[in-house]
Amino acid sequence: MKKVLIVLILSTFYLLFATISYAQDFRNDYQVEYFLNQNQNKLNTKVKFTVTITNFRTDVYVKQFSIGFPKSFTIRDIKASDDNAILIPQISSTDSLTKISLEFSNPNIGRNSVNNLYLEFFQDNLFTVNGNVWEVIIPTVERKKDSNYKILVHLPSDSGKKISISKPKPDNILGDTIVWNNPTAKTIYAVFGDTQFYKTELTYRIKNDKFIPVYTDVAFPPDTLYQKIYIDNINPQPSKYFSDEDGNYLARYYLNLREAKTIVFKGSIAVFSKLREEILTHVRNSFAEQENYLLAKTNYWNISDKDSIASIAAKPEDIYYFVTNRLKYDYNKINSDNKRLGADKVLKNPDSAVCMEFTDLFIAIAREKGIYSREIEGYGFSQDPTLRPLSLLSDILHSWPEYYDVQAKLWFPVDPTWENTSGIDYFSSFDLNHITFAIHGKDPEYPLPAGTYKTSDTRDVSILATDKIPDEQQNLLFEYPPLPTRINDAREYQVKISITNSGNTYFWADNVPIQSTNLEMIPSNLNFAPLAPYEKKVLTLSFKAKEKNKKSVGEFKITFPQNKVLQARFNIIPYYYELALKISLGILVILSIATIIILIRKRHVK
């Protein structure tokens, strides 16, 4: 009698990516479908697994199939069947895993025989409504080369949501269905919706411990290629708003001796999946001024052992994956008073890294290889601190690097920390969960980001995702002194124009052209962007007559945004006319004085 071997197969879905156990004499094909249903602010997901097991031997057949899910998966209403009958799932749990075991009712036996399993359940926490977007992290099955694996996500037909970020990219989008065929990534990460909004409240606590008055600069969140700020209120108001070379948004406060101040920033921050075209020109122009220090070595961005990185190619991707694979995230340092190691030390202690060390090492190697790079300190909006930890002290902050692509003329953000901890690709594309507080290109420690201005142990960062679109108020104020009505053709005249952004968002408009007649204008157009909210700039405009020795009328007109107009008209007089007039007036005055003196003397003689 022929002996038949019974095989049990276990497939495990692990967010930590444990290896799946496969029987070598079978092929397992998977089709996994996710059907989304929105109920108020929650997304319920019906999940359907179709597992097709093909037998390649005559003496072996599959009796039982088990599939494991992370304990964090909330699974309910489980139903199962095969091609012949409804199955009763056997459910068991450990501290980290929920296992569903299914036994075939009457499995097909023989070479090339096929058995199908159908598993359905509801999962409440797979897709999350995060403010204005939907977000999903789907762990995948590790598969053999000859097996097939298909994932389909079915969106509600009336949702209006479009996929804006996907890692990896889907193979097909058919209406409201997104399809991935044979994904090799450990995790599929997708965002539906192209803009996220965050309601923001930041508290800055500053104190002057000296016995002389001082000033202190604090950094508010700036506009970037992927971020826009909307201010509701800043209290108290500083003496000055300004931007630095890196593009930080700074405010200057004066403190008397032993004085302390608490500053509160309230507003909203929008984060975009696509870059903002309106600020692209400025970013590229600014790089020309920044590149002289973006390769500089600092105490944190320096590597003494050049041989340890000699084999790394001078490519951002190679550097990124070297850092991701070399360092190990140390969860024990998150809540400890850990000291920033910097690139040199973390290479020697690769198991003691948090986000600062991942960032420092990337920047140090990139600069050593001639790749312009910088650090971003800010906030990482994370639903799961294990997958996407936040590790700067004082408040829940995060840091990540950016590199500048000289061919594309663009800054690209990357996050080796979160790829290391989550397995999600943060090199080829980013997400909507990174909020910039401070940009460090010139100095790795200045300015300090929000959340680090403290006089005691307090929580000073409040960030909440919202679907409410912020109100934008755009308004520019212009001030300039009275202009003359008459000018001569030999002199150059100047006027200082004060421009204040009294709106609650950055002003990014292109150069403002100056229209003129019979006048030479210097400059020929005005450029005062970017102008941060409440920031004031003073521009100097020079003008002079184009033609000499000719009476004419000159005028110029500047049409600012919001249809505000500065217009002036002058009578242009040849210089010798004006000189002759002045001489004539001088002679007339002298003659008048002489006549008065003569008359006075005659009266005295009488």
What tens digit of pLDDT does each residue of 63-87 get? 888 888 877 777 889 999 999 999 9
* Contact predicate 439/248, CB 8 Å: yes
What's the predicted TM-score (pTM) here?
0.85
CA proximity to 203, closest of 239, 234, 237, 248: 234
Of 444, 430, 316, 445, the closest CA to residue 381 belongs to: 430
pLDDT of 299 reads: 95
**Alpha helix ranges (H) inside 255-315:** 280-290
Residue 394's region, left for phi above 0, alpha for psi from -120 to 50, else beta, is left
- Positive or negative, the CA dihedral 40, 380, 454, 253 is negative
Tokens of 426: 């943060």
Percent of the chain topping pLDDT 70? 91
Question: Is residue 475 a contact partner of residue 502, using CB atoms and an 8 Å limit?
Answer: yes
What does the pLDDT average to over 558-580?
81
Q: At what angle do helices 355-368 and 316-326 cross, to 10 degrees?
A: 140
Instruction: Please answer whether residues 573 and 487 qualify as being in contact, where contact means their C-beta atoms are separated by less than 8 angstroms.
Output: yes
Whole-number Å distance between alpha carbons of 137 and 165:
12
In the chain, the percentage of residues whose pLDDT exceeds 90 is 62
pLDDT of residue 395 exceeding 70, the answer is: no
Burial call 150-188: b when 16+ CB within 10 Å, e when fewer: bbbbbbeeeeebebbbbbbebeeeeeeebebeebeebbb
Question: Do 202 and 460 form a contact (C-beta atoms < 8 A)?
Answer: yes
* C-alpha distances in Å from residue 305, one per residue of 35, 296, 474: 53, 17, 52
- Most confidently predicted of 330-339, 379-388, 497-506: 497-506
What is the band of 580 on the pLDDT scale with cuts at 50, 70, 90?
A: low
Give dist(CA 137, CA 534) in Å, integer. Answer: 40
CA Rg, the chain, in Å? 35
- The model's pLDDT over 176-228, given as tens digits with 9 standing for 90+, comes to 999 999 998 888 889 999 999 999 999 999 999 998 999 999 999 999 999 99
476-573 CATH fold: Immunoglobulin-like (2.60.40)
Q: Please write the tens of the pLDDT for every residue from 271-301.
A: 999 999 999 999 999 999 999 999 999 999 9
pLDDT band at 159 (very low <50, low <70, confident <90, very high): confident
Tokens of residue 181, six digits: 């065929």
SS (H, E, C) 72-124: CCCEEEEEEEECCCEECCEEEECCCEEEEEEECCCCCCCCCCEEEEEEEEEEC
The amino acid present at 433, given as its one-letter code, is N
How confident is residue 3, by pLDDT bands cut at 50, 70 and 90?
A: very low
Look at residue 477 and give its three-state secondary structure: strand
Give 307's pLDDT tier (boundaries 50, 70, 90). Answer: very high
pLDDT band at 124 (very low <50, low <70, confident <90, very high): confident
Amino acid (one-letter) located at 305: D
Determine contact, residues 200/224, Cβ cutoff 8 Å. no
Name residue 571's amino acid. Answer: N
pLDDT at res. 20: 36
Indicate if the pLDDT at residue 508 is higher than 70.
yes
Mean pLDDT for the stretch of residues 326-347 = 88
Q: What is the pLDDT of residue 21?
A: 39
Query: Is 138 within 8 Å of 15 (Cβ atoms)?
Result: no
Tokens of 51: 């597992």
Closest CA to 58 of 108, 21, 115: 108
Q: Check whether 8 has a pLDDT greater than 90.
A: no
Please check the confidence at residue 1 and state whether its pLDDT lies above 60.
no
Six token digits for residue 561: 């945004």
- pLDDT band with cut points at 50, 70 and 90 for residue 37: confident
Q: What is the mean pLDDT of the chain?
A: 88
Q: Sheet containing 127-130: which strands, arranged edge to edge?
A: 127-130, 133-139, 187-192, 163-167
With 50 as the cut, is the pLDDT of residue 17 above it?
Answer: no
Whether pLDDT at 471 is above 50: yes
189 phi/psi in degrees, rounded to 5: -120, 130
The pLDDT of residue 2: 41
Q: Which CATH class is domain 198-466?
A: alpha beta
- pLDDT at position 342, please? 96
- The arithmetic mean of pLDDT across residues 152-175, rounded, is 89
- Angle (nearest 5°) at CA 297 between 330 and 334: 15
User: What is the tens place of the pLDDT at every residue in 434-452?
Assistant: 999 999 999 999 999 999 9
Q: Which of 275-279, 517-521, 579-583 has the lowest mean pLDDT?
A: 579-583
Residue 2 tokens, joined? 């022929």
Which tokens hold the place of 450?
């929000």
> Quick one: pLDDT at residue 577?
67
Count the helix, strand and coil residues of the chain and give each as a percent rounded to the nearest 5.
15, 45, 40
Write the CA distances from 424 to 154, 187, 435, integer angstroms. Answer: 22, 6, 18
The token pair that represents 425 in the structure block: 């690709």
CA-closest candidate to residue 78, choices 70, 89, 64, 63? 89
Q: Which pLDDT value is given to residue 416?
A: 97
Under a CB-based contact definition with an 8 Å cutoff, are residues 232 and 266 in contact?
Answer: yes
pLDDT band at 339 (very low <50, low <70, confident <90, very high): confident
User: For residue 389, is pLDDT > 70?
Assistant: no
Of 177-186, 383-392, 395-404, the poorest mean pLDDT is in: 383-392
Looking up tokens 């020795």 gives 549
* Token pair in block for residue 262: 């608490």
Domain at 5-193: CATH architecture: Sandwich (2.60)
Q: Specify the 3-state DSSP secondary structure of 26.
A: strand
pLDDT at position 24 is 65
For residue 109, what are the contacts with CB-CB under 8 A and spacing of at least 6? 4, 55, 61
Arithmetic mean of pLDDT, 559-578: 83
Tell me if 5-193 shares its fold with 476-573.
yes
Q: ω into residue 574 within 30 of 0, thus cis? A: no
Residues 123, 43: Cα–Cα separation, whole Å: 9
Give the start-to-end residue ranges of the domains of the chain: 5-193, 198-466, 476-573, 580-606
SS3 (DSSP) at 406: coil
What is the per-residue pLDDT for 391?
52
Annotate 355-394 with DSSP letters as a single string.
Answer: HHHHHHHHHHHHHHTT--EEEEEEEE--S-TTTS---BTT
**pLDDT exceeds 60 at position 390:** no
